[in-house]
């Protein structure tokens, strides 16, 4: 079976990251290791260069992953029974981060206009009054939107009027495709910065997810203290010394590599769209502005879950991510990960065309 599912890449982690990890491995002492200024400076430099956001060292809090941080934030800032808004179809660990801790999951489903997915602001106005917190996926996995500044401003305005805290998962921020720009939600204005926790990591960008190294950026001292307290209580703050070295090398040396990667991913996205337009025009494809994930609408075939599974897995030998797993609005869709060599993508698309054509 050809895998196009889990959101990591079939590319090697860049050589400058591997070298940094190997160099640290040569030092035979792997005991408890604190993060020094190099870690914080690398993040500050990256956020400034790539996203134009001036981050202060004190705002940065290490976390062993973005999903762990989503869960920690829920524990730190909400009480059981309180409402948390998510905007499906969305990366499914958002649901668990709410429901697994006895908080109430409130869905503000994304809507589609003729050409793209958009936030349902009218519904959000109503829901916001009942909620404590909103989980934003920026850029949005799986629909591939890189939210524009005016869209985020409208969202921020609703959050401000309803005193909603925001957890902004920006793990895909570096992977906006050429022609698009990532907008950091917390960088909109001071008011928004004070109510927002931004989560980021080098793991998607440089294929380092196995090193469990991520971070939160929290300008509000009060919110930061509560978040840090949660991490301390669970003894999750120590981290992985190889992850630190990887992050430092990636963020200090990775600009050129990332720009080349974005070019390659953009070509894979364009190739996929052209191939499907020619061979399987029944599949509707929403524009991919960011991430290496393409959101494909298979509803034309009206297949049951079982028929879908049989066609994809048994017949085509393809493993894509099932749209229904991303919550309401995901039924009938599939998510295709194109962060792979083009030769593999061609083979995968040909198999798809054979099974569905
Ligand atoms: C939106 C989003 N957040 C978080 C993650 C995973 O983060 P981590 O591996 O740091 O827990 C992913 C991985 O696919 C993702 O798409």
Burial class of residue 8 in the structure, from the number of CB atoms within 10 Å of its CB (0-12 exposed, 13-18 middle, 19+ buried): middle
Residue 83 pairs with which residues in a beta bridge?
104, 131
| DSSP annotation string for 152-178 | HHHHHHHHHHTT-EEEEE-TTGGGBPT
- 269: helix, strand or coil: helix
Q: 9: Cβ below 6 Å to ligand 1?
A: no
**Ligand 1, atom nearest to 214 Cα:** 10
3-class DSSP assignment, residue 271: helix
CA of 282 from ligand 1 middle (Å) equals 30
Measured between alpha carbons, how far is 258 from 17 in angstroms, rounded to an integer? 13
In ligand 1, which atom is closest to the CA atom of 90? 1
Is the distance from the beta carbon of residue 339 to the nearest atom of ligand 1 less than 6 Å?
no
Cβ(205) to ligand 1 under 6 A? Answer: no
Ligand 1 centroid – CA 172 distance (Å): 8
Cis peptide before 142 (omega within 30 of 0): yes
pLDDT of residue 309: 87
Cα radius of gyration rounded to whole Å, the chain: 20
136 in contact with ligand 1, CB cutoff 6 A: no
Contact 95, 71 (CB under 8 A): no
**Across the chain, where does the E strand assignment appear?**
2-3, 60-63, 83-86, 104-107, 111-112, 117-118, 131-137, 165-169, 196-200, 214-217, 284-285, 293-297, 318-319, 321-322, 333-337
pLDDT at 274: 97
Q: What number of H helices and E strands is found in the chain?
A: 13, 15
291 lines ligand 1 (CB under 6 A): no
Cβ–ligand 1 contact at 137 (below 6 Å): yes
Q: What gap in Å lies between CA 274 and CA 283, rounded to an integer?
A: 12
* CA 189/CA 39 separation, integer angstroms: 26
Ligand 1: nearest atom to the Cα of 91: 1
The rounded Å distance from CA 196 to ligand 1 centre is 18
**DSSP state for residue 108 in the 8-state scheme:** -
Amino acid 114: pLDDT: 75
Question: Do the Cβ atoms of 65 and 214 come closer than 8 Å?
Answer: yes
Ligand 1 neighbour 203 (Cβ under 6 A): yes
Do 247 and 46 contact (CB within 8 A), yes or no? no
Task: Sketch out the chain's domains with CATH numbers.
Answer: 2-10+256-356 (3.90.1150.10), 15-254 (3.40.640.10)
pLDDT at 306: 87
Pocket test for ligand 1, best of 93, 94, 97, 336 (most atoms within 8 A of CB): 93
Rounded mean pLDDT for each run of 10 residues along the chain, 357 residues in total: 95 98 97 96 98 98 98 98 98 98 98 92 97 98 98 98 98 96 98 98 97 98 98 96 98 98 98 97 94 95 89 95 96 96 98 95
Residue 138 in contact with ligand 1 by CB distance below 6 A: no
Taken as a whole, the chain contains a residue count of 357
CA of 101 from ligand 1 middle (Å) equals 19
Q: Which of 171, 173, 246 to mutate to test the pocket of ligand 1 (most atoms within 8 A of CB)?
A: 171
CA 148 / ligand 1 centre spacing (Å): 21
CB of residue 216 inside a 6 A radius of ligand 1:
no
Strand order in the sheet with 321-322: 284-285, 293-297, 333-337, 321-322
201 Cβ below 6 A of ligand 1: yes
């Amino acid at each position: 079976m050809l895998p196009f599912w889990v959101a990591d890449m079939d590319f090697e982690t860049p050589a400058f990251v591997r070298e940094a990890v190997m160099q640290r491995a040569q030092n035979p002492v792997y005991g408890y290791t604190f993060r020094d200024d190099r870690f914080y400076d690398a993040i500050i430099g990256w956020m400034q260069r790539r996203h134009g956001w001036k981050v202060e060292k004190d705002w940065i809090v290490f976390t062993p992953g973005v999903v762990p941080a989503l869960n920690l934030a829920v524990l730190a800032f909400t009480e059981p029974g309180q409402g948390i808004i998510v905007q499906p179809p969305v990366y499914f660990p958002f649901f668990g981060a709410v429901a697994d801790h006895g908080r109430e999951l409130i869905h503000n489903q994304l809507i589609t206009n003729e050409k793209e997915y958009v936030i349902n602001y009218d519904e959000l106005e109503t829901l916001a009054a009942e909620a404590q917190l909103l989980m934003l996926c920026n850029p949005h996995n799986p629909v591939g939107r890189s939210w524009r500044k005016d869209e985020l401003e409208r969202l921020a305005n609703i959050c401000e009027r309803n005193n909603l805290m925001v957890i902004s998962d920006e793990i895909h921020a570096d992977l906006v495709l050429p022609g698009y720009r990532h907008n950091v939600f917390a960088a909109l204005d001071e008011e928004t910065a004070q109510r927002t926790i931004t989560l980021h990591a080098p793991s998607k960008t440089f294929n380092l997810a196995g090193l469990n190294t991520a971070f939160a950026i929290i300008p509000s001292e009060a919110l930061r203290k509560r978040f840090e307290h949660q991490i301390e209580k669970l003894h999750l703050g120590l981290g992985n010394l190889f992850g630190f070295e990887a992050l430092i090398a990636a963020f200090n040396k990775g600009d050129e590599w990332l720009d080349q990667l974005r070019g390659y991913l953009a070509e894979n996205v364009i190739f996929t769209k052209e191939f499907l337009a020619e061979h399987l025009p029944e599949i509707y494809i929403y524009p991919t502005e960011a991430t290496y994930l393409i959101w494909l609408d298979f509803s034309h075939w009206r297949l049951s879950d079982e028929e879908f599974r049989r066609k994809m897995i048994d017949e085509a030998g393809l493993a894509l991510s099932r749209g229904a797993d991303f919550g309401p609005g995901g039924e009938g869709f599939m998510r295709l990960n194109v962060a792979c060599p083009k030769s593999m993508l061609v083979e995968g698309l040909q198999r798809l065309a054979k099974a569905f054509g």
